[in-house]
Amino acid sequence: MSEPVELPDLAAVEDLGARIAARMRAGDVVALSGPLGAGKTTLARAILRAAGHEGEVPSPTFTLIEMYDALDPPVAHADFYRLEHPSEAEELGLEDYREGAVLIAEWPEKAGGFGHEPACLSISLSDRGDTRLAIVECGADWLGRAP
């Protein structure tokens, strides 16, 4: 199942983030893909704020993974842009971060992708003139709770 969602402004991005946060469960993956500047980090921040995080949400471009253990469920926010091979995600201990947590993954294809996982919500972001467009695809575990 895939569904396009128009994101004409920041309020629409925050609304989508809130709908995702309200439906997340431990073990889920929210895979955010799209070109540089498409809004992946902006959507990740909206999800984290809606999930209850009140502090700064730095882009994990250099740290690769930021943990938000105080959230329920905990969230690991990862940016795989700098990975050169999917095996590097394993070297980071990605599975340990995912244990009992939601994974928000920017550039998921660089880590080998997660779309094959039933608990993956894949969102592909792109510019469409004056607005952004999000194509949302739900894994089997997201059916019935898609944002």
List, in order of start, the domains of the chain with CATH numbers.
2-141 (3.40.50.300)
Q: What is the pLDDT of residue 128?
A: 77
Residue 145 has pLDDT above 90, yes or no: no
What is the separation of C-alpha 141 from the centre of its chain, rounded to a whole number of angstroms? 16
Tell me, what's the pLDDT at 43? Answer: 96
**Which range scores top for mean pLDDT: 38-47, 86-95, 122-131?**
38-47
Q: Are 23 and 147 in contact (CB under 8 A)?
A: yes
> Do 117 and 26 touch, CB atoms closer than 8 A?
no
Length of the chain, in residues: 147
Residue 76's nearest CA partner among 93, 91, 88, 86 is: 93
Residue 24: exposure state from Cβ atoms within 10 A (0-12, 13-18, ≥19)? buried
Whether pTM exceeds 0.75:
yes
The pLDDT of residue 126 is: 92
pLDDT at 136: 93
Q: Which residue has the higher pLDDT, 77 or 147?
A: 77
Q: Which pLDDT value is given to residue 60?
A: 82
The band of 1, judged by pLDDT with boundaries at 50, 70 and 90, is low
- Residues 88-94 have a mean pLDDT of 85
Name the nearest CA neighbour of 101 among 36, 10, 50, 29: 29
pLDDT band at 12 (very low <50, low <70, confident <90, very high): very high
Burial class (CB in 10 A: 0-12, 13-18, 19+), 45: buried
> What CA–CA distance (Å, rounded) separates 10 from 28?
24
Mean pLDDT, the chain, whole residue set: 91
- Whether the pLDDT of residue 99 is over 70: the answer is yes
